[in-house]
């Protein structure tokens, strides 16, 4: 069967249908068409409601797809930035530890190398837009190797700690050969909210 035959048969069927409807109308009037007409109008109305709601849903889905495509273009960059942010935020000490953090780092590292501080100054804080820059200065005496290891351990802390200032003075006219007087400032950063 080809398409021409199908269309021809369909055309004849529709023509016969209208002929039958005409014959019924002439014989019985409009009464037999009222009930099917109401069903047809109801079906058309329901179809319209379904189609119109699908149209708005389709429009909404197209907009969402467009937004998703735009976001997808930057997904890898977002993922990289999120990973970098997580790395940096994990390096910043907790704000609740702000008052004791530098004391803890200094004392823990000093006890590891058996260093006794000869002077410990109070902690200095500078706050700018909920970011706290803190520092603490200590003085002690030790040998070159111990000082180098002490500084290395502090700066290699998994949390952000920096030796922001160091002054080394070799002792003169002293029987303690190889001893150095050290003045050291340790700094860190705390953020109120990330």
Same domain for 117 and 184? yes
Helix (H, G, I), strand (E, B) or coil at 92: coil
Please give the residue range of the domain that contains residue 162.
95-191
Asked if pLDDT for residue 1 goes beyond 60, the answer is: no
Number of domains in the chain: 2
Residue % of the chain over a pLDDT of 70 = 92
Q: Domain for residue 86, yes or no?
A: no
> Residue 74: what pLDDT?
81
Q: Domain for residue 88, yes or no?
A: no
> What CATH number is attached to the domain comprising 104?
3.30.70.60
> Residue 182: what pLDDT?
92
Model pTM?
0.54
How does the average pLDDT of the chain come out, rounded?
A: 82
Q: Domain for residue 16, yes or no?
A: yes
Same domain for 181 and 116? yes
Q: Domain for residue 118, yes or no?
A: yes
Same domain for 101 and 175? yes
Asked if pLDDT for residue 115 goes beyond 80, the answer is: yes
Q: Domain for residue 7, yes or no?
A: yes
Same domain for 58 and 118? no
Q: Domain for residue 13, yes or no?
A: yes
Same domain for 185 and 112? yes
Distances (CA, A) of 91 to 33, 100, 136, 158: 81, 17, 19, 6
CA 32 to chain centre: 67
Asked if pLDDT for residue 194 goes beyond 70, the answer is: no
Q: Domain for residue 81, yes or no?
A: no
Same domain for 65 and 130? no
Q: Long-range contacts for 34-41 (Cβ within 8 Å, ≥24 apart)?
A: none
Helix (H, G, I), strand (E, B) or coil at 126: strand
Length of the chain: 194
Same domain for 52 and 130? no
CA 104 to chain centre: 32
Same domain for 62 and 30? yes
Query: Which residue has better confidence, 176 or 66?
Result: 66
> Residue 183: what pLDDT?
93
Same domain for 53 and 117? no
Question: 161, 141 in Cβ contact below 8 A?
Answer: no
The predicted-structure confidence for 72-111, as pLDDT tens digits, reads as follows: 888 888 888 888 877 777 777 777 777 888 888 899 999 9
Least confident interval from 1-15, 24-38, 55-69? 24-38
Q: Domain for residue 117, yes or no?
A: yes
Question: 167, 151 in Cβ contact below 8 A?
Answer: no
User: d(Cα 180, Cα 175) in Å, to the nearest integer?
Assistant: 12
Same domain for 173 and 106? yes
């Amino acid at each position: 069967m080809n398409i021409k035959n199908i269309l021809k048969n369909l055309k004849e069927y529709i023509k016969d249908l209208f002929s039958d409807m005409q014959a019924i109308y002439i014989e019985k009037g409009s009464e037999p068409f009222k009930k099917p007409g109401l069903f047809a109008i109801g079906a058309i109305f329901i179809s319209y409601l379904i189609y119109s709601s699908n149209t708005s849903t389709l429009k909404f889905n197209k907009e969402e797809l467009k937004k998703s495509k735009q976001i997808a273009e930057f997904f890898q960059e977002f993922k990289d930035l999120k990973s970098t942010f997580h790395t940096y935020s994990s390096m910043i000490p907790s704000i609740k530890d702000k008052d004791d953090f530098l004391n803890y780092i200094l004392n823990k590292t000093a006890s590891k190398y058996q260093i006794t501080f000869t002077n410990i100054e109070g902690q200095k804080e500078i706050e700018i837009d909920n970011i706290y820059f803190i520092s603490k200065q200590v003085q002690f005496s030790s040998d070159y190797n111990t000082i180098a290891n002490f500084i290395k351990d502090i700066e290699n802390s998994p949390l952000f700690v920096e030796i922001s200032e160091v002054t080394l003075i070799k002792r003169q006219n002293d029987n303690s050969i190889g001893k150095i007087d050290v003045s050291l400032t340790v700094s860190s950063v705390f953020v109120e909210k990330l």
